[in-house]
Amino acid sequence: MTSAIDAGGTNLPYPDDYQALAKLATRPGFPIRVSNLLFAQRPGTEREFYEKLSVEEKANVNRAASRLNGYVFDGAGEVLVWSSADFEDFMAPRPDLKPQMERDLAEVIRLVAEKQWPIRQHATYDQSVSRILDVFEPIFKETGYRSRWGIGGMSQLAHRTAIERLSHAGAVPNTALALVTELFRDWKAPVADKAREIIKWYLAEVQKLTTEAHKKAA
């Protein structure tokens, strides 16, 4: 493993619970790259948290002593506001997002979008994704937002809905492989040859499946 992304976690207040990792990053030989997405740990403090963060932190400033992009604050996520959070327990009834979600989320997302910070929002259900995108889309347009953003943790239906709306808004769908190869910066690393093997296999499989699909459609 060469890199890791902290997509944001509960019960991990920043910066207190990040001190050990931040200290390790300042030492020579820090072995991996880590980027952090952060969110408020208590409902009702979201705007205050991001306002404070915007003063105290700058995105993509490397704090690792001996590794390029070794330890950075990346952006906001994964629970931008607590009223926008649902969960993945498909054995339980689907949770409805709170009525004030749009107001809460708009207040925070405008602040984050103006900073051009990357964003990751957790959502599981189609109903949640649709309401969240209804907030994102006009504010992104209003603020000229051009940074990376995504919605993760979805059901299959929610994923399809998000992809369709993202494409309609001008996003270009990509593959996990393309993302990995773009972010894989150290091609001289010991694991690079293994990565090349996987990429060659993947491209051959894509070509084979594409050919088979064309034959069936003919």
pLDDT digits (tens, 9 = 90+) for 104-118: 999 999 999 999 999
Give the per-residue pLDDT at 162.
73
Strands 71-78 and 33-38: parallel
Structure tokens at 194: 């293994």
Identify the weakest region by mean pLDDT among 35-39, 65-69, 88-92: 88-92
CA 121 to each of CA 39, 132, 153: distance values in angstroms, whole numbers, following the listed order: 10, 9, 9
Q: pTM for the full model?
A: 0.71
Asked whether 127 and 96 are in contact (CB, 8 A), the reply is yes
CA-CA distance, 169 to 150, in Å (whole number)?
13
Q: Give the residue with greater pLDDT, 17 vs 192.
A: 17
Summarised one tens digit per residue, pLDDT across range 121-162 is: 988 888 898 899 999 999 999 999 999 898 887 677 677 777
CA-CA distance, 158 to 179, in Å (whole number)?
21
CA-CA distance, 112 to 106, in Å (whole number)?
10
- Put the strands of the sheet holding 33-38 in their side by side order: 3-6, 33-38, 71-78, 119-122, 149-152
pLDDT band at 185 (very low <50, low <70, confident <90, very high): low
